[in-house]
Amino acid sequence: MRILLVEDEDDLRKPLAERLKAEGYTVDQAADGREGLFLGREYAIDLGIIDIGLPRMSGIELIRALRKEEKGFPVLILTARGNWQDKVEGLEAGADDYLVKPFHIEELLARVNALLRRSVGWSQPVLNCAPVVLDTRTQTVRFEDQPVDLTAYEYKVLEYLMLHAGEVVSKTDLTEHIYDQDWDRDSNVIEVFVRRLRKKLDPDESYKPIETLRGRGYRFVLQRNS
């Protein structure tokens, strides 16, 4: 999952980005509104974390500009003032949730998680496509109630596929949403991850949860249960 983080205060942005990366997100950082808009246009962002008080282009303007260009990813605004006028203005400009500074990183992670799920139609933190159950909070996967041991990238791929369960997800989508911008985008790597996932999840091939659509990508075929 690719997160756009726009915050002008280095001391706040950098540790936040580190923590998000540690949680398995891919993070694009910007220190001002213009840079944020550039990154938002350039990359396949899944969620934006945008500070309202930004230099060069305010957070509100940035959100408006992104929405005008039909970037529909959810946006979480960070506001220092915490007054309702700012919150309402931000939400009206196109943000989806707000967080008042200072905040606990855990709170931010919970909001990010919820917004990401919500934007693709999941209301619960646990993605249940029986017999595959993925808990986004603990980043653990169970198959037929047995824990499945996945690497960080295998988890990322599965989470992305499950979040978009029932939809076709191209290899490009997966690469863009999972890798940092400076990674080598070799689609063969994705194929490798998917193959490994299939083996770990469903060694007997009794469910075949991930379907390959030739030339188009993958689809997670198990029904959403929540």
- Total residues contacting another protein (rule CB under 8 A)? 31
Q: Exactly one of 38, 72, 83, 213 binds another protein (CB under 8 A); which one?
A: 83
H or E element at residue 89: helix 84-93
Find the part of the chain contacting another protein (CB under 8 A) among 10-18, 134-142, 182-190, 197-205: 10-18
Q: Exactly one of 41, 118, 195, 216 binds another protein (CB under 8 A); which one?
A: 118
174 sits in the region (left: phi over 0; alpha: psi -120 to 50; else beta) called: alpha
Q: Does 81 bind another protein (CB under 8 A)?
A: yes
Contacts of 112 (CB under 8 A, 6+ apart): 3, 20, 25, 47, 49, 76
User: C-beta of 95: minimal distance to another protein in Å?
Assistant: 8
Q: Exactly one of 71, 87, 156, 171 binds another protein (CB under 8 A); which one?
A: 87
Q: Exactly one of 68, 70, 85, 215 binds another protein (CB under 8 A); which one?
A: 85
DSSP for residue 224: P
Contacts of 205 (CB under 8 A, 6+ apart): 198
Q: Does 82 bind another protein (CB under 8 A)?
A: yes
Q: Exactly one of 80, 152, 192, 213 binds another protein (CB under 8 A); which one?
A: 80
Q: Does 102 bind another protein (CB under 8 A)?
A: yes
- Tell me the C-alpha to C-alpha distance, in Å, between residue 143 and each of 22, 29, 82, 203: 25, 35, 43, 11
For residue 127, the cross-strand partners are: 134
Q: Exactly one of 41, 42, 69, 103 binds another protein (CB under 8 A); which one?
A: 103
- Tell me the C-alpha to C-alpha distance, in Å, between residue 127 and each of 113, 120, 139, 144: 12, 11, 11, 14
The contact mask relative to another protein for 12-51 (x = CB under 8 A, - = no) is: x--xx-xx--------------------------------
59 CB burial (10 A radius; 0-12, 13-18, 19+):
buried
The residues of the shown chain that bind another protein, judged by CB under 8 A, are: 9, 11-12, 15-16, 18-19, 53, 78, 80-85, 87-88, 91-92, 96-98, 100-106, 118, 123
